[in-house]
Amino acid sequence: MAASSSARKIEFEPTPRRPASTVRRPALRLLPASRNTLGRGPFIVLVLGLLILGTLGLLVLNTVIAADSFRAEQLVQRNAELAVAEQELRRQVAEGLSPEALAEAARDLGMVAAGQPGFVVVNPDGSIVIQGTPVPAGIR
C-alpha cells in the first residue's frame, strides 16, 4: 500500500531534483572487494587469546586477592599477638612501678629508707651553712 502510494507520488513529480548536467550514477554500487585476505583464522586466535588472557587475569587476580586476604589475616593475627605481648610487658612495667613492688625490690637489695636530709646552702660570699639535721639512713 505504502509502496504504491509513493510510486504514485513519483509519477506526480517527474522533475528530478538534481540538475541535468550531473553525471548520473547508480544509487547503489559495489565497493571493491576487501583487501583483507587472511581469512577468519587470526580473528579466532585473537578472540581465543583474549579469552584465555582474561581468564588467566581473573585467576591471577583472584589468587592475589585470596593470598592478600590470607596475609591480611596473618597480619591481623600477628598484630593481636604483638598487642598481647605489649600488654603483658606494660603490665609488668606498671607492677614494677608500684610503690609496693619498688619498696620490696629496694629491701631485697638491702636498701633502707633515707633519713632526714641536711641541706647545704651556699651563700653569695662562698661560705656554706648546713640547714637541717641530717640523720643517717635507717635511723628514725
Partner 1 sequence: MAVLTAIILGRLVLVQGLDGTAYAAAASAERLREDVLPATRGQILDANGNPLAYTVSARKIYADPSLISDPVGAATTLSGLLTVPVNELVDKMQADNRYQVLAERLEPSLAAQVMGLRIAGIGVEVQPLRLYPAGEIGAQVVGFTGSDGSGLAGIEQAYDDLLSGTPGTTSYEVGRNGAVIPAGERTDQPAIPGGSVQLTIDQDVQFHLQRQLDAQCADGSTQNAQAVILDAPTGQVLAIATCRSFDPNAAGEADPDNLGNGAISGVLESGSVAKAITLSAAVQEGIVTPGDVRLTPDSITVGNTTVRDAHPHDAINYTVTGILAKSSNVGTIGIARELGNELLEQYLRAFGVGEQTGIELSGESPGILVPHEEWSIAQSINIPIGQGFALTTLQMASIYQTIANGGVRIPPRIVASTTSPDGTVTDTVQPRGVRVISEETAATMAYMLEAVVGEGGTALNASIGGYRVAGKTGTAQRPNPACSCYAGGGFWTTFAGFAPADAPEYVMSVMLQRPDSGVPAGPVFKNVMTFVLAHEAVAPTGAARPEFILIV
99 touches partner 1 by CB under 8 A: yes
Interaction with partner 1 in 32-91: which residues (CB under 8 A)?
Answer: 65-66, 68-69, 83-84, 87-88, 90-91
131 touches partner 1 by CB under 8 A: yes
Rounded Cα gap, residues 58 and 107, in angstroms: 69
Quote the least distance from Cβ 26 to partner 1, whole Å: 50
Quote the least distance from Cβ 74 to partner 1, whole Å: 14
Q: Which residues on neighbouring strands pair with residue 24, listed in sequence order? A: none
Quote the least distance from Cβ 86 to partner 1, whole Å: 10
Close Cβ partners of 2 (under 8 Å, ≥ 6 residues apart): none
117 touches partner 1 by CB under 8 A: yes
Beta strands of 1-140 (E only): which ranges?
A: 119-122, 128-131
Quote the least distance from Cβ 55 to partner 1, whole Å: 19
Q: Which of 103, 113, 83 is nearest to 95 (CA)?
A: 103
Burial of 115 (0-12, 13-18, 19+ CB in 10 A): middle
| Site residue total, partner 1 (CB under 8 A) | 30
Q: Which three cell numbers stand for residue 48?
A: 581465543
Residues at the interface with partner 1 (CB under 8 A): 65-66, 68-69, 83-84, 87-88, 90-91, 94-95, 97-100, 103, 113-114, 116-119, 121, 129, 131-133, 135, 140
